[in-house]
Structure formats: C-alpha cells, structure tokens
Structure 1
Amino acid sequence: MADKSAKRNVSLVLQCEWGSCTHVSSRMEDFCTHVSEHLRQHQHEAREEAVDCEDEYCCHWLGCGFFTPDRTDFVRHVYFHCYHTKLKQFGLQALQSQPDLNPCQLDTQTRNIIPELQDGFICLWDQCESSYDNPEWYYRHVDTHGLSAEYEVAGKENRVLLCGWKEHRFQCSHCSKRFATERLLRDHMRNHVNHYKCPLCDMTCPLPSSLRSHIRFRHSDERPFKCQHCEYSCKNLVDLRRHQDTHSKMPAFCCEYEECTFTARSMSSIKAHHRKFHEGDCEPRYKCHVCEKCFTRGNNLTVHLRKKHQFKWPSGHPRFRYKEHDDGFLRLQLVRYESVELTEQLMKEREKQGAPMDTTTTCLVLSPGGSMESDEGVYDRTVVEKDCALLS
C-alpha cells in the first residue's frame, strides 16, 4: 500500500492521444478531467450529427479504432486509456531507472491496444457494490478497503488480515458471466432481454442504440463517410479508415515478432496472423451441438448448420451467434429472451398477417415479488424464452 501511495505522488508525463490533442498533465486527476471533456464533446457531436450507427461512439485515441453503440462501454473504454497511459509511464520510469534492463520489444504500433472490458468495475468487498467507469477511481476505492481491513487474532501475538472480497457466486445462464450478488446478476440480465422491435422487419433488440444501428445498416442506403482520395463511401468511420489504408504505400501494421516479416493493413489481420502462426491457435473451437463436428472458424460452422442440419436464421436476425461453454468450445446460442410486452406485440402482428409465431419454448413464471424465477436464474421482469435458431 505504501508503494502505491508513493507512486501516486510521482511526477508523471501523461500525454493525451485523443485525435490531434497534445495536452500533457502531471497528475491523474487533471488528466482524467481533461479526457472527460473529449468524451463530453464527442457525445455532443454524435447527437448533433445524428450518427446513430455502430460508429456512434468511435474511440479517437491514436492507434485504437475501438467502436461500440453502447455509451457506457465507450466511456469505460476511454477512461481505461487514461489508466493505461499511467501504467506506460510507470513502465518507462522503471526502464530509465534500471539501465541494465533490455528495452521493450513490443511493436509501438500496437501500444494503445487495450484489453476488451467485458464488465464494469464493480467492488465486490463485503457489504459494498460500488461501481465505477474509471479504473483509476475503482482501484483507489479498493485500496481503501485494504487499508481498513479487519484483523483476526491467530495466536497470542500473531494477527492476520481478513480479506472481505466475495466470490462470484451467481452465474448468468445466457453468457456464463459470474456476479457476487443476485442484484448484480439481475442488472446484467437486462442486457439479454429484447424490448425493442424494428418497424421494418422482425429484428428485436435489447437497446435503442442497437435498434438504431440495425436500421441504419440494414434499411438505409445512406453512406455519409466519403473517401477524400476516391469515390468510395461507407456507413461508418471504422470502414472508412480501413479503406483509407489502401491508399497508403506502407502497410499499417507489422508483426511484432522480431524474425517475422508479415505485414497487414488491418489490426484484425495481424491478430489472425498471431493466432495462426505464433500462438498455436489452430485447434478447432467451434462445435456443432447436433453432431459434435468441430470447426476452426465460426463461419464454417454456420455453413455446416445451414446445409447439413437445415437450420435457418431467426426472422429479422442476420446471423447465428455462438456461446462459449465450460469445455471451451463455442456452440450455437439457442436461446434469446424477449419481454412479454414485446412478445404480445409480435403475436398480434403475426396474427394479422396470418403467419405462425417463431417456435416458443418456456414462458418463465412470474414470482409474487415481481421477479422471474427459473432453474437458470432470477430475472427482474417477465420474459419469454425463445429459440434463436429454427429448423426449417
């Protein structure tokens, strides 16, 4: 703890890399405040320009390229860049203070690629469920629990600290994520329940932003992002940036392994190259839930399911989704959840059209307290569980 406190007081050179910004801060508090202004301005511009597609929230941090339709995920991602900038400063200071260490061997082109953040930063200390979007404030908060941890007597003169961190006892049956409390599980399950239906097709979505993204990409011909070098235009900023790389004579990305000369114009190609040639990830991870046949790519399993077993995509949904199981294999996701209100709306529409509803499985039972209980977990509102892939 003392070491962490000392690091907070060390003078830092925190360089903002949002777009062309050159701001530098020496304190994390000032740096996070500065970056929050970029977030505020970016969200304001997104609303003004009505860019409601997948690039609605696109990270402008140098060399990143992350995008998401979810505002919360976007804010959490950008603040992690702040925290990552501080970690890189600590690493640089360690290298400078120990000249005998070898220099960093990582490719500078990938230095701002940060990990995917699956969940929010939630404190699991006993009797505490505080949550944060910024990891800096989250880790400082957890520090306070450690500093105030209770002692337990272990003998006449010995004392031991008691850890109050709770296990992830509640597991989501839909995506297998674990949570410390039932309330956190219920909050998470809201993201799996579809409440919104596309007015132009049968697609259903859990969030308004997802629905806007679907409409723009599936039902609109508008291509507002135009290339300055040719007549190419596209629907999102990420695709435009990928296209602009084709006008460059130099490859955008190089393999970080010293003896490897592989180059590519996209980060996804580099990652695929790493998995295939440097990480030994050639083992098949996709498995058919019907005949147990395995595939190395999800697209190959999709073709197998459609041709061999005559599966078809659910109405309005453009593709199959795959879920990782306990054995490490990815299998077809067979269940989706829709609110009862939305299901009733769909049934009325299909009755008017004289068409049958999609195959419906179990309608979960509403408990007296207003929550849904089943063998798979507890939900805070009534939902209908439906097949996500249908046999023709």
Structure 2
Amino acid sequence: MPPASKRARKEDSPLELACEWGSCQESFDRMQEFCEHVEGHLKALDIEDGGNYSFEEHSCLWKDCGFCSVENAEEFKRHVYFHCYHTKLKQWGQGVLKAQPGIGTCTIGLHNRNIVPDITDNFICQWEQCEQPSLANPEWFYRHVEMHSMCMDVPSADKELLVRCGWKDCEAMFKGRFKLREHLRSHTGEKVVACPICGGMFANNTKFFDHIRRQTTIEGQRFQCSHCSKRFATERLLRDHMRNHVNHYKCPLCDMTCPSPSSLRNHIKFRHSNEKPYSCEYCEYSCKNLIDLRKHLDTHSTEPAYRCDFTNCDYTTRSLHSIKNHYKKVHEGDFVARYKCHVCEQCFTRGNNLTAHLRKKHQFKWPPGHPRFRYREHEDGFMRLQLIRYESVELTEQLMRERPEGHEGEGEDAARTDILGPGEDEGELFKDSHSVD
C-alpha cells in the first residue's frame, strides 16, 4: 500500500489515468486505484517480487513501449510501474499546457511518448534511521520521501528556524518544509511534469516550458539520437541527451558494460553468483530470489498458475505453454504487428516474439553479459532491433587494452559497439566510433 500523507496532494485532484496495457481501456482518476489495477496485470503474468524467466516471458504490453527484458522479473515490474507514474506526469503536463494556451505545443511527435527510462534498482530511501524496505513503484517511493519532509517538526512561530535535510551524507539546511521537499528531488531524481506529446520528463514547469519554446523558436528537430530516435532542436541538446546512453563500467568477469555501479552489481548478482539462499520447504529446490521460489511453490499447489489478463476472459491454466497458446489463438488479433525483423522483414505483434525469432532464426546475440535486445521505432512506424551501444572513452581505452593485437578501434569520447550477427567474431566488438561530447 502507498505511504500515507496528511497533506492534501496535487495528485488527489481528478485525473484521467488511462491504462494502455494490451487491449485494456480502463481509466481511473486516482493514482492508488490506477496502480492497483496495473498490479493486477502483473499478477496475471505471475510477476510479483522479482526473479528470472526465459527471454520469451518479459515483454511489456504497454502501447508503443516495446520494452523486452530477460534480466529479471523485478526489473520488469519496476518498468511497468514507471508507466503508471509517467502517465500521471503526462496528465499534469496536459493540464499545464491547457493553462498556458499561448506557449505552443510539442512537435517532436508521439512515437516516443511511452518510452520510459531503464530502472536498474528498486527505489531506496536513504533518510536517516528510515526502515522503509525498497520499493518497486516510483509513485509510492516519492510519496514516502515527501512524507519525511512534511513530518519535520517546525514550530510555526519560529520562521528563522532552519530545517536540515536528513538524507544520508547531506548537511543542507532550508527555511521550511516546502524548500526541503524541493531539495529532496535532487536526491531522488523525482520529476514533476511530463510532455503529453513526446513523453519527456522535467524537474519543474520552467524546464517544461523551455522544452516547448525551443521547438517554436528553432525550425524543425534536425538532430536525431541514433540510439533511441528522439529528436532535438540543437546539436548541444542531442549531445547532452546522448550521454545518458553511454556505459562507464565493465564487469570484471565478462564483457558486460553498464551505465551505473548499481546495474553492474545487479548483473554480477544474477549472472555470476552461485548463491541460492531461497529454499523450498517441501522439496530440495533452491534459487537466487524470492520470485523464483514463489513460482516454484506453485508446482506444489492445485490452483491455476496462469490467468488470462484480457478483460472478460476467464481462461486459467497450470501451463506456461498453454497460456501462450491461448494468447496466440484467442487474442492475437488484438495486437498490431509493429515489430519487424531487419534481416528478413518478418513482422511480430510483440517484442518478445521478435526476440525469439532473432535468436533462433538468425542466431543473433549480444556479446557475453548482454542478454537483452532493445527495439526502436523507425520512420515507417515499425520497431526494429537497436544495433549499437556506446561506451565512455575511459571504458573504451580499458577495453582496447584488454583486446588481443589486431582488434583495434577508434574513439574520441565514446565507442559505438554493434550487436553481433551470425558468423561474426565475438572479439570484434568495436567496429567504428561516435563522438558524444
């Protein structure tokens, strides 16, 4: 359940929060009901508290998303909950634009409106002596952190009394709870508004207005990110954006590169650790995480493990194979075949089906440690495989030193690494370079 807060909140105002999961068309005016509804979609997929599934199981059905993950179910859960939070911010952005009719509108387009950032870890409150467990839902996390600022004991008669930030290793002081609340967003990364057209998120309304004004004062969005297809008015804005795609950390045990220390820790835990601390009380089975254990416990139950998540469909089954066949035979027509293979042009309704096709039909794979394919939208509206990733210049130099002689690459500020196709040498990672500075 979400943390309680005594203060009347902005999100308590009526909203139109539309669920865009698969063919679902329900809408809600409160975030709590909206999040509980989306949680029902997750439960129908048997995803609760994290874990690992085969690559065919992790495909986000949110409209125009295309996210497909094989890392772990907890990552998938965070991703879907972020859609809830993102939907709310876009609603707020719509209200802001209606209140400022003369400011203009976003011209970037709708193709990226439901693309959300990668969330590599659960959200953890670092307020001193806070015992709140980590949270997968950003909405509940940001409400919880705000609660700390609103519960500070500040005598109303003493207007000069400064309030100290209780975040770990922070000594900042502020006049009142409101300033502290704003400051806490610098620790949590919380955004307050999103563009309803392109989905971009902003820390305040001023930055959102700048986003709109830049498009009305500069003709066209001539600079496009080669990684995610977002467009920008200036080359400087594109370069600033590109830095978010650059990996800085390399796994010491394989060729995996990551954008942050937390994502590297997660990778090592799930890919290189043999520890299995979770054990079944009914048999000798053990596993790495709680969701795998809960999934295994279903084998000891007579209750159906899989339920169709389509409205007005009561189909249940004990078999993963059966539920997949059910979706294919009964509900396949409810999806649009937007995922296209860049090799043979075959189309698919879901990203995970294209993933399976690329791996089985064309033997595509990431270098060791990269178990996920990502897809981006092209100008014809189809989602195709994203073929490159970027490393920082420091990481590139490190990787070049580790390469055998003859495998040299160029690099100014970041190296572009191509996905391996059939018949290519796994050592041939750096085919060319791309500057992002």
The TM-score with structure 2 as length reference comes to 0.46
Larger Rg: 1
